[in-house]
Amino acid sequence: MGFHKDLEFGRRYEELAASMVSSSPIEWSPNKAFKAWDFRTPTTTYEVKADRLAHRYGNAFIEFECSSLASGICSSEADMWIYFVIRGEELDAYCIPRLELLELCKGCVVKSGGDNYRSRGYIVPLIRLKKFLVSLPAPLVPTRRDNRTTAVPPEEHHRPSAPHSQPEPAVPRPEGSGSSPSAES
């Protein structure tokens, strides 16, 4: 999937997350290159990720670097991360305070992935995120209709094939990695 399709895919999940967390007014990030957060309410900022591979391997990929620059968890300033795990026509959603997610990343394996393997991230077992799992109405599959996200039955939905990844705030690099962390196996 190309950059623009990834961007649209991610935007649908950002809209879904916004509809989950608040009936308050939502302010969207100022532009597509903005790294601090995806949207905010009057009291909280949010970063949203959607992952189509996490269910297969049982791990979340928490990006911290892309093209040797801080990204993902290391560039985000969001208070909360909403991490969607897509399982066919079903979704799991984890709502995790960013600072707690950083703690959960400590000691995790680091791998390259996404964006032609230009990104590096922590491989966090989903079991570590279990306490942050939130309930979603079923079936709930985001799709674009009249420029808003709506829930539609799975039989009406055509699911895209690649997740959107966005940057996060400056955070400590993996231990013993110097300025550029090296992948562990």
Predicted confidence at residue 135, as pLDDT, reads: 81
pLDDT-derived band at 20, boundaries 50, 70, 90: confident
Residue 81, CA atoms < 13 Å, CB-side half-sphere: 32
Assigned domain for 181 exists: no
Is residue 73 in some structural domain? Answer: yes
* The pLDDT value given to residue 25: 86
Share of the chain above pLDDT 90, in %: 49
| Residue entry with tokens 């928490």 | 62
The pLDDT mean for the chain works out to 77
pLDDT band at 123 (very low <50, low <70, confident <90, very high): very high
How many structural domains compose the chain? 1
Residue 147 inside a domain? The answer is: yes
User: In this structure, is residue 182 part of a structural domain?
Assistant: no
Which tens digits make up the pLDDT trace of 42-98?
A: 999 999 999 999 999 999 999 999 999 999 999 999 999 999 999 888 899 999 999
* pLDDT of amino acid 147: 41
* pLDDT (0 to 100) of residue 63: 95
Q: Tell me whether residue 110 is in a domain.
A: yes
| Higher local confidence (pLDDT), 143 or 25 | 25
The pTM assigned to this predicted structure is: 0.72
Residue 125 belongs to what domain range? 3-156
Asked if the model's pLDDT at residue 144 lies above 80, the reply is no
Residues 1/160/64/58 CA torsion (nearest 10 deg): -120
Q: Is the pLDDT of residue 104 over 60?
A: yes
Lowest mean pLDDT among 32-41, 150-159, 174-183: 150-159
- What pLDDT score was predicted for residue 56? 94
Q: Which residues of 34-62 are buried (b: 16+ CB within 10 A; e: fewer)?
A: ebbbbbbbeeebbbbbbbbebbeeebbbb
117 within some domain: yes
Amino acid 33: pLDDT: 66
State the pLDDT at residue 1. 59
Residue 163 lies in a domain: no
Residue 26 included in any domain:
yes
126: pLDDT strictly greater than 90: yes
* pLDDT at position 103 over 90: yes
